[in-house]
């Protein structure tokens, strides 16, 4: 991680030695401003997806700036699972190791800041940050993830990622066989029930109000011994995020050791939507097969546009890096 001052120094040192193709370097350094502030690609979001893209781009000698505000969605989770070679590692350790490896490529810089504004000026994108710095790039990649919106149930946010879990693949094995709850209703809760009943046979659904299951779903829930609790949930009993029960509307406490829940979410970074990038029905960025959004030159990868897992973030990031490099290579090649 570098400060703004260190960043400017590092960029200045680098700009003399960059192996950027001649046409691109000269296009950047003549009439378009300070070369230290100019990049082939700016990646907003320096977690798993952004770092993975940066590696593909760094290895392709692209001048890359990663801008990151340091708030990955899994930051409260003690251990990350189901990403091969890193099973059980602390989320931060995975990202730190990735950052170290990515920054070995001298054309990649990491900058701690919040990206706030983006506009197109000629063939370049101009990105402004919270600290007031402005950078220019030929391509923009958003690897900005999602922001989970915590329900207003006391204790929920303290337990999020520790004993309140969103994904059975990530954390289900660790709580297998335990008395487990699902906080949800309708199809989402039913889907969780089908999945989680593979991991425990002590399962209840807390609908936090009137249940909304079809007759067929009710029948299957009954056959699988899954209890449906329709009372409102008042609060969650926990010790440092480790829950032990749910306090219900009638004052009783239902004892459980783990809870699955899928809170609603929003795009962590508003810039792509403000610019007019299209979203899917689920609120994810809509992409083509080259990870490009509906606005040419703006790409996305990771949670903001894909299934939520570290493996997928790394995979889509790598794909985005390769796709952007291909686009740049073609543009430069065809200029000759």
Ligand X SMILES: Cc1cc2nc3c(=O)[nH]c(=O)nc-3n(C[C@H](O)[C@H](O)[C@H](O)COP(=O)(O)OP(=O)(O)OC[C@H]3O[C@@H](n4cnc5c(N)ncnc54)[C@H](O)[C@@H]3O)c2cc1C
Residues 279 and 268: beta-carbon distance below 8 Å: no
**Both tokens of residue 190?**
């039913």
Q: How far is the CB of 317 from ligand X (least distance, A)?
A: 7
Least Å from the CB of residue 175 to ligand X: 12
If the CB atoms of residues 217 and 291 are measured against ligand X, the closer one turns out to be 291
CB of 75 to ligand X, least distance (A): 8
The C-alpha angle 194, 199, 204, rounded to 5 degrees, equals 60
80 vs 84, 103, 162, 242, 285, CA distance in Å? 10, 23, 11, 16, 25
DSSP string, 130-177: TTS-EEEEEEEEE---EEE---S-TTHHHHBTTTEES-HHHHTGGGTT
Q: Which is nearer to ligand X, 40 or 148 (CB)?
A: 148
Whole-number minimum distance, CB 146 to ligand X, in Å? 7
Catalog residues that contact ligand X under the rule CB under 6 A: 44-50, 67-74, 77, 80-83, 114-115, 143-145, 148, 160-161, 166, 170-171, 268-269, 302-303, 308-311, 313
Minimum CB distance to ligand X smaller for 27 or for 320: 320
Q: Which residue is nearest to ligand X (CB)?
A: 302
Residue 291 beta carbon to ligand X: minimum distance, rounded to whole angstroms: 12
Query: 3-state class of 58 per DSSP?
Result: helix
State how far the alpha carbon of 48 is from the alpha carbons of 68, 141, 196, 204, 207, in Å: 11, 13, 27, 34, 34
Give the SS3 label for residue 299: strand
Nearer to ligand X by Cβ, of 44 and 205: the residue is 44
Nearer to ligand X, 63 or 171 (CB): 171
């Amino acid at each position: 991680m570098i400060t703004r001052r260190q960043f400017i120094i590092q960029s200045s040192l680098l700009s003399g030695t960059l192996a950027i193709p001649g046409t691109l370097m000269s296009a950047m350094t003549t009439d378009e401003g300070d070369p230290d502030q100019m990049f082939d690609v700016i990646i907003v979001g320096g977690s798993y997806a952004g770092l993975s893209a940066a590696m593909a781009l760094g290895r392709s000698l692209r001048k890359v700036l990663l801008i990151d505000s340091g708030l990955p969605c899994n930051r409260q989770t003690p251990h990350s699972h189901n990403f091969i070679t890193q099973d059980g590692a602390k989320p931060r350790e995975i990202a730190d190791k990735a950052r170290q490896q990515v920054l070995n490529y001298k054309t990649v810089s990491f900058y701690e800041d919040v990206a706030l504004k983006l506009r197109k000026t000629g063939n370049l994108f101009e990105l402004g940050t919270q600290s007031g710095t402005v950078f220019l790039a030929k391509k923009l990649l958003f690897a900005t993830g999602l922001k989970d919106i915590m329900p207003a149930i006391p204790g929920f946010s303290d337990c999020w990622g520790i004993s309140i879990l969103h994904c059975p693949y990530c954390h289900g094995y660790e709580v297998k066989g335990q008395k487990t709850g699902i906080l949800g209703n309708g199809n989402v809760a039913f889907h969780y029930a089908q999945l989680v009943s593979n991991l425990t046979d002590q399962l209840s659904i807390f609908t936090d109000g009137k249940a909304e299951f079809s007759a067929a779903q009710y029948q299957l829930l009954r056959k699988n011994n899954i209890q449906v609790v329709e009372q409102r949930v008042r609060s969650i009993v926990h010790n440092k995020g480790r829950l032990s029960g749910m306090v219900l509307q009638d004052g009783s406490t239902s004892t459980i050791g783990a809870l699955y829940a899928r809170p609603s979410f929003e795009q962590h970074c508003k810039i792509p939507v403000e610019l007019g990038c299209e979203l899917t029905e689920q609120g994810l960025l809509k992409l083509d097969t080259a990870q490009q959004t509906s606005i040419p030159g703006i790409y996305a990868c990771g949670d903001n546009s894909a299934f939520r897992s570290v493996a997928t973030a790394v995979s889509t990031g790598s794909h985005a890096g390769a796709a952007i490099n291909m686009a740049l290579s073609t543009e430069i090649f065809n200029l000759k």
